[in-house]
């Protein structure tokens, strides 16, 4: 989906995932399918094949997709910006509300932000911040449109299961809307992204979940997780054994090195360098070197174009990362340099700055007073996306 005011990258739902969703509800009695941010319609078209008698309400704002959505008496296509306006409430309890929302932040007006907070899906802090995760906004719109007993199925980033950003959303879905199962896709299913996804299944206003059945699309394994562990973001931790075939950073032949000198010493001798605080300020972005790599002495102490610099220490800096765009630059002992083969560098960088990995660094960093990241933490990091 794209907003009239903000442009979001569009990644159509893979047909394989759309068909899995359709199969999940093939035997359900569904009279009304609602697709929020339908894109090219892959989701509702797949579900409709198994629910021939159901009517469809599909919401989309990008006019370039309208021609691909088709038309029929029982399919309604609505041009609506869901970040600003509400979808129509369903009239049938036997309804299914589906979505593959944008995986990013978007700007909302104050009245909508207050409603999202009242729904329990986000904390009070978003009232002061104009931008909020759109996955949460679309979940709110689904609940807003639902009746008690309406089925809800969303495709979300894997960070929904782990990140503190989605804690309130997890808690509310578990306590009030019977989120009782989900499917984790071990592979990167969306071409052109480094995002792994999860499909969640819930029932609106159906009360507290008794436990979440976690399914693994690739292995076919199933594991039931207590709601306290799901709420706390521990699903992937408890399912590491089920994901033991996932490659680790070390499997990509990376080289790790740490800066040799502290920031004070580098300042005293007048060298330009990268410190953990610089990385925090530029997190997920690019940094330019100050000299050509072939002109530097002691090349092993310099990061060069394509290297990834990771802050290894610091409460607010821990795990933050930048990539060297050009030239070469020295880095302090608070920084770890990760050097990968050219074909892997960009993919690994995008993965390292993702919510999933940032949560991993915060959770597993060592130390009682000052936490820090070790070489082994990076080497053993599971790479759960296609690189």
pLDDT given at position 282: 93
Q: Report the CATH number of the 249-379 domain.
A: 3.90.220.20
pLDDT in tens, the chain (387 residues): 334 445 556 778 889 999 999 999 999 999 999 999 999 899 999 999 999 889 999 998 887 777 777 677 788 989 899 999 999 988 887 899 999 999 888 889 999 999 999 999 999 988 888 789 999 999 999 999 999 999 999 999 888 998 888 999 999 999 999 999 999 987 767 765 667 899 999 999 999 998 999 998 877 788 899 999 898 888 877 776 555 566 789 888 899 999 888 878 878 777 788 999 999 999 999 998 876 544 445 555 789 999 999 999 988 899 999 999 999 999 999 999 999 998 889 989 988 998 778 888 888 888 767 789 999 999 988 876 666
Note the pTM of the prediction, 2 decimals.
0.73
User: What phi-psi label fits residue 227: left (phi over 0), alpha (psi between -120 and 50 degrees) or beta?
Assistant: alpha
Q: Rounded distance, CA 386 to CA 260, Å?
A: 33
| Number of CB atoms found within 10 A of residue 336's CB | 24
CB 258 within 8 A of CB 333: yes
Q: CA dihedral in degrees (343, 345, 348, 351; nearest 10)?
A: -110
Domains of the chain, by residue range, sit at: 15-243, 249-379
Q: Rounded distance, CA 328 to CA 301, Å?
A: 10
pLDDT given at position 294: 45
CB 167 within 8 A of CB 233: yes
Q: Which residues, 6+ apart, have CB-to-CB distance to 270 below 8 Å?
A: none
What is the 8-class DSSP label of residue 12?
P
CATH superfamily ID and name for 15-243? Vaccinia Virus protein VP39 (3.40.50.150)
Vertex 168 angle, CA 166 and 169, to 5°: 65
Q: Which residues, 6+ apart, have CB-to-CB distance to 295 below 8 Å?
A: none
Among positive and negative, which fits the CA dihedral 114, 159, 195, 67?
negative
């Amino acid at each position: 989906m794209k907003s009239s005011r903000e442009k979001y990258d569009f990644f159509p739902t893979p047909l394989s995932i759309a068909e899995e969703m359709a199969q999940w509800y093939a035997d359900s009695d569904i009279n009304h399918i609602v697709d929020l941010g339908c894109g090219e319609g892959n989701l509702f078209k797949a579900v409709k094949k198994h629910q021939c008698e159901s009517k469809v309400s599909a919401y989309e704002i990008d006019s370039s997709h309208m021609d691909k959505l088709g038309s029929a008496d029982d399919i309604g296509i609505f041009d609506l910006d869901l970040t600003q306006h509400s979808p129509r409430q369903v009239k049938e309890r036997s309804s299914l509300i589906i979505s593959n929302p944008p995986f990013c932040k978007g700007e909302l007006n104050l009245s909508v932000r207050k409603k999202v907070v009242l729904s329990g899906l986000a904390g009070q802090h978003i009232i002061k911040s104009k931008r909020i995760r759109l996955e949460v906004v679309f979940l709110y719109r689904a609940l807003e449109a639902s009746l008690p007993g309406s089925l809800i199925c969303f495709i979300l980033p894997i960070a929904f299961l782990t990140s503190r950003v989605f804690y309130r959303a997890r808690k509310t879905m578990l306590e009030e809307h019977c989120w009782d199962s989900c499917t984790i896709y071990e592979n990167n299913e969306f071409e052109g992204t480094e995002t792994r996804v999860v499909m969640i299944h819930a029932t609106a206003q159906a009360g507290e979940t008794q436990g979440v059945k976690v399914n693994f699309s690739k292995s076919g394994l199933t594991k039931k997780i207590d709601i306290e562990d799901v709420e706390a973001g521990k699903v992937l931790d408890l399912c590491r054994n089920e994901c033991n075939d996932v490659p680790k950073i070390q499997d990509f032949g990376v080289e790790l090195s740490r800066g040799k000198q502290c920031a004070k010493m580098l300042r005293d001798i007048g060298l330009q360098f990268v410190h953990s605080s610089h990385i925090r300020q530029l997190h997920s972005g690019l940094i330019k070197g100050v000299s050509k790599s072939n002109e530097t002495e002691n090349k092993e102490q310099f990061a060069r174009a394509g290297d990834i610099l990771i802050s290894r220490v610091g409460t607010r800096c821990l795990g933050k990362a930048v990539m060297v765009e050009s030239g070469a630059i020295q880095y302090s002992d608070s920084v770890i340099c990760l050097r990968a083969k050219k074909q892997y560098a960009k993919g690994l960088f995008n993965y390292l700055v993702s919510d999933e990995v940032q949560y991993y660094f915060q959770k597993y960093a060592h130390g009682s007073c000052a936490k820090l990241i070790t070489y082994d933490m990076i080497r053993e990091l599971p790479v759960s996306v296609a690189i």
